[in-house]
């Protein structure tokens, strides 16, 4: 069956050609071409499409419609949030790093790339992607025993990982709006935040009544999971204390609701 993206999926594309009514986009991940209409570029009136997209530009887009029979893929730029754009860009970078490391390891150990990928395959089952597993090994050498190879080869491969893979801390954030007009409203809000603050979650004041939640982790998926957990706890506590609360990944979304 021919491979198509799913509706709602984030994709990385290259603007191939622009014209008055939109643009054609090459989706390298699927070896296909999609269409980005003018109305899906921005909610604002567009005088010159080149103020928003240019030929050769890489953009993160959302798939809004797929017609497999016609081979048509409709895309949207305006519905992609800053958080989604960042997440997709990070995912693409991780795939590129994974491929680069596999090629490097194959050359260093005089083994084919397919064999290296086979050895590292269990990492994908455990951590979601091979590169997430590689970073986990680089961080604490955990679970190296699940690699599909003998002890000597494992030792050499782990040595390459330790020497060449640098683990970067991933930071994700979201925003919460909290309101309470009771006499003890401020104390209630303080109590809500006190219950979720930890060394991995930082709450900062943005401007009444908005607060920023920041979470740092070694892995993007872990950071997002922690952020989701913290935001859900805040909303649950706010409801129990009769506070008005709303959460969004982008502060602009909260502002739109306020208008």
CA distance 256 to 146: 48
Element (H, E) at 57: none
Question: What CATH number has the domain bearing residue 25?
Answer: 2.40.50.140
- Reference 228, options 244, 243, 211, 213; nearest CA is 213
The pLDDT-based confidence of 1 (bands split at 50, 70, 90) is low
Domain limit, last residue, from 65, 80, 95: 80
Distance separating alpha carbons of residues 78 and 165, to the nearest angstrom: 35
Same domain as 250, residue 189: yes
Per-residue pLDDT reduced to its tens digit, 15-26: 999 998 999 999
**Average pLDDT for the chain:** 88
Confirm if 77 and 57 have CB atoms less than 8 A apart: no
Strands 210-217 and 170-179: antiparallel
Query: pLDDT at position 110, please?
Result: 94
108 and 88 belong to one structural domain: yes
CA distance 56 to 176: 37
Query: 248 and 175: one domain?
Result: yes
Q: Count the domains in the chain.
A: 3
Q: How far is it, in rounded angstroms, from Cα 231 to Cα 130?
A: 29
Residue 24, H or E segment: strand 22-27
Domain end among 109, 129, 164: 164
pLDDT band per the 50, 70, 90 thresholds, residue 30: very high
Residue 184 covered by a domain? yes
Is 197 found in the same domain as 158?
no
Helices (H) and strands (E) in the chain, counts: 7, 9
Which of 68, 75, 72, 98 minimizes the C-alpha distance to 13?
75
End residue of a domain, out of 134, 164, 194: 164
Is 5 inside any structural domain? no
User: 184-216: per-residue pLDDT in tens?
Assistant: 988 999 888 887 776 568 888 888 789 999 988
Do 35 and 98 reside in the same domain of the chain? no
Confidence check: pLDDT of 259 > 60: no
Domain that holds residue 55: 10-80
Same domain, 57 and 114: no
Question: pTM for the whole thing?
Answer: 0.56
CB 149 within 8 A of CB 162: no
Under the banding of pLDDT at 50, 70 and 90, the label for residue 255 is low
């Amino acid at each position: 069956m021919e491979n198509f993206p799913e509706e709602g999926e984030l994709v990385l594309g290259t603007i191939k050609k622009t014209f008055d009514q939109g643009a054609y986009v090459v989706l390298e991940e699927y070896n296909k071409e999609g269409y980005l209409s003018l109305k899906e570029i921005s909610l604002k009136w567009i005088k010159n499409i080149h103020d928003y997209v240019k030929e050769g530009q890489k953009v993160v887009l959302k798939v809004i419609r797929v017609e497999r029979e016609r081979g048509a893929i409709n895309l949207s730029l305006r519905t992609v949030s800053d958080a989604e754009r960042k997440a997709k860009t990070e995912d693409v970078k991780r795939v590129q790093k994974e491929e680069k490391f596999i090629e490097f390891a194959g050359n260093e150990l005089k083994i084919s790339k397919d064999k290296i990928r086979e050895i590292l395959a269990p990492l994908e089952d455990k951590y979601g992607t091979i590169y997430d597993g590689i970073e986990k090994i680089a961080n604490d050498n955990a679970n190296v025993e699940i690699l599909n190879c003998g002890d000597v080869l494992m030792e050499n491969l782990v040595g390459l990982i330790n020497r060449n893979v640098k683990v970067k801390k991933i930071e994700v954030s979201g925003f919460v709006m909290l309101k309470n007009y009771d006499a003890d409203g401020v104390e209630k809000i303080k109590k809500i935040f006190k219950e979720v603050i930890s060394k991995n979650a930082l709450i900062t004041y943005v401007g009444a009544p908005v607060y920023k939640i920041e979470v740092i982790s070694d892995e993007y998926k872990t950071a997002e999971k922690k952020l989701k957990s913290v935001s859900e706890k805040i909303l649950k506590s706010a409801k129990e204390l009769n506070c008005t609360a709303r959460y969004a990944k982008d502060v602009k979304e909260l502002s739109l609701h306020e208008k």
